[in-house]
Amino acid sequence: MSLTPEATAAVLTQALPYIQRFSGSTVVVKYGGSAMDSDHLAGFAADVVLMHSVGIRPVVVHGGGPQIGEMMDRLGLTPTFVDGLRVTDAETLDIARMVLVGRVNRDIVSAINVHGPLAVGVSGEDAGLLQARVRHPGLGFVGTVDSVNTTIIDRLLDEDLIPVVSTIGSDSTGQALNINADTVAGTLAGALGAAKAVFLTDVEGLYADPDDPATLISETTPVALEAMIAAGELAGGMIPKAEAAVDAVRRGVASAHMVNGTTPHVLLLELFTDAGVGTMVCPDSDQEQETSP
């Protein structure tokens, strides 16, 4: 159903103060999971371009778990996960590198560039963007970020371009490592001084009871999230998302958001409306005092 001119004007009026507030700010968007299928990619790309058009500086960080799983299945390989992280041997690393850098990254870049020559694909290996080390020997070639060199991202943003980052990093010897995309998004948001980090997932946000969508947590803090993780109240892929949101806020990002990426225009709803959607992670009160000017 199309909006009347009056309703359209009302929506634009509501969006205006948010556009003014975030214009010139960097927003890191983690794109992954079910939201990455072809039915949602075009809408996601259009929303990112709209953000860019009103002065926001979007940085897209993408995963590709379903696509990696699909390729492994075609090759007769069975994936193993520990706390939501894929165990990555040498063969799996080659597959992840091929899928993330060679396929998923190109698909996102192409979808954005339908709207103009805006997006540039970047791997975490490029220009030393993501320096990493092995997270745990039992996980194989899975990395954790040691340091972030934002030079290449800063230059792209200064050229009014949209970086699209695939999350293969490298250690000090040049060995490639597969890094969880949520982890990278949180760390990169902090390094860039982003105003927001938005994590797109396939559920509405965090639930107090994982089996009951009615228990959606609209707002929480790092301390509360860490308590949930320690108590075993989160499972699977929600653990790295929650940890990444905590990390982003602790690194100075004003807020982190976990939202359902399959909801049409969810980025615009989160950024430009009064209601907002999903789960928002805000600084603890003591952190606010420490980071306030």
Give average pLDDT by consecutive 10-residue segment, the chain, 293 residues.
Answer: 66 85 96 76 94 97 91 91 84 95 96 97 96 93 95 98 97 95 95 96 84 88 92 81 93 94 88 82 68 36
> 146 in a domain, yes or no?
yes
Is 88 within 8 Å of 140 (Cβ atoms)? yes
pTM (two decimals): 0.91
How much helix, strand and coil, in percent to the nearest 5, is found in the chain? 45, 25, 30
| Catalytic site positions | 30, 33, 65, 182, 241
Q: Which of 127, 173, 126, 167 is nearest to 143 (CA)?
A: 167
The pLDDT of residue 291 is: 41
pLDDT tens per residue across span 48-102: 999 999 999 999 999 898 899 999 999 999 888 887 778 899 999 999 999 999 9
The pLDDT of residue 90 is: 94
The pLDDT of residue 147 is: 95
The pLDDT of residue 232 is: 85
> 170 in a domain, yes or no?
yes
Is 171 within 8 Å of 116 (Cβ atoms)? no
How far apart CA 100 and CA 92 sit, in angstroms, is 12
The pLDDT of residue 220 is: 93
pLDDT tens per residue across span 71-83: 999 999 988 888 7
Number of domains in the chain: 1
Tally of CB atoms within 10 A around 79: 14
The pLDDT of residue 289 is: 40
Instruction: List the CATH number of the domain containing 140.
Output: 3.40.1160.10
Sheet containing strand 57-62, strands side by side:
119-123, 162-166, 57-62, 26-31, 196-201, 255-260, 279-281, 219-220
How far apart CA 191 and CA 104 sit, in angstroms, is 24
How far apart CA 4 and CA 10 sit, in angstroms, is 10
The pLDDT of residue 111 is: 96
The pLDDT of residue 258 is: 92
| Parallel/antiparallel/unpaired status of strands 85-86 and 142-148 | unpaired
> 18 in a domain, yes or no?
no
The pLDDT of residue 3 is: 56
Say how many residues make up the chain.
293
Domain carrying residue 37: 23-291
Q: Which of 131, 127, 125, 157 is nearest to 144 (CA)?
A: 131
Written as one string, the DSSP assignment of 229-246 is: HHTT---TTHHHHHHHHH
The pLDDT of residue 255 is: 94
Report helix angle 238-250 to 181-192, nearest 10. 10
How far apart CA 3 and CA 267 sit, in angstroms, is 19
The pLDDT of residue 290 is: 41
> 218 in a domain, yes or no?
yes
Is 229 within 8 Å of 8 (Cβ atoms)? no
